[in-house]
Homo-oligomer: A and B are copies of this chain.
């Protein structure tokens, strides 16, 4: 039962699931300001979150201060489901945002519901899938390829302008690069007319084939 995989991607279709129903019923709405911390690294895993609007990033800081961004979350995404008793990553509001959250204990009380368990399992699966892609990106891609792959992942393959809500530092910490390298790669891609930046945090793809070819 749990092993039967859904084909569709939660991030894209967001069907009304038992989980989202439960969130709508029990999920208290909370607002967070830009740069506000939603939960801290080391905190006990206490809530399950659903992002209604805005963008969230998860980050992990090593003992000596290096930062790794785990992922970015957008409206409709569930987050806070970490694979341990406490958070390895912190979650921070990248923009002002609205989230729904329910205590895990509430989820449990609601539980025994097979469909709900399955939905939570699905979310964990997606997370694993994305994390595996992240490993591939970090392990075997050049700076140019990393940046191209990142831009492509933001577009959702749809035409039109895309909003980069994160800073260069956020991108760099996600890609395992420095801000300078990210900036240089962006400049280069623009110079080659593959992407265009009307503003530092807004872009559109001008040559999809080329971008995809670089991203691998």
Q: Which residues from chain A sit less than 8 Å from chain B, CB to CB?
A: 1-5, 7, 45, 48, 60, 62-64, 66-68, 70, 83-85, 88-89, 104, 107-108, 111-112, 114, 117, 120-121, 124-129, 131-132, 134-136, 138-140, 173, 175-176, 216
Are B3 and A107 in contact (CB-based, < 8 A)? yes
Answer whether A108 and B176 are a contact pair too, CB < 8 Å, given A134-B135, A140-B67.
Answer: no
Chain B residues whose C-beta falls within 8 Å of the C-beta of A216 in the assembled complex: 62-64
Q: For the complex formed by this chain, how many copies does it contain in all?
A: 2
Answer whether A128 and B3 are a contact pair too, CB < 8 Å, given A64-B216, A66-B140, A136-B68.
Answer: no
**Contacting residue for A138 out of B62, B67, B176, CB 8 A:** B176
Distance in Å: Cβ of A25 to nearest Cβ of chain B:
17
Distance in Å: Cβ of A174 to nearest Cβ of chain B:
8
A2 CA to B125 CA in the complex, in Å? 14
Are B7 and A111 in contact (CB-based, < 8 A)? no
Are B135 and A85 in contact (CB-based, < 8 A)? no
Q: Could you pull out 23 A-B pairs where Cβ atoms are within 8 angstroms?
A: A1-B112, A2-B111, A3-B48, A3-B104, A3-B120, A5-B85, A62-B216, A63-B216, A67-B140, A68-B135, A68-B136, A68-B140, A70-B132, A84-B125, A88-B129, A114-B114, A114-B117, A120-B121, A124-B124, A135-B135, A138-B138, A138-B139, A139-B175
Distance in Å: Cβ of A129 to nearest Cβ of chain B:
4
Chain B residues whose C-beta falls within 8 Å of the C-beta of A139 in the assembled complex: 68, 138, 173, 175-176
Are B62 and A1 in contact (CB-based, < 8 A)? no
Are B64 and A121 in contact (CB-based, < 8 A)? no
The residue on B at minimum CB distance from A120 is: B2
Can you add 19 more A-B contacts, CB < 8 Å, to A4-B108, A64-B216, A121-B124?
Answer: A1-B108, A1-B117, A3-B48, A3-B111, A7-B85, A60-B136, A62-B136, A62-B140, A68-B140, A70-B135, A83-B128, A83-B129, A120-B121, A124-B128, A128-B131, A131-B131, A131-B135, A139-B173, A140-B176
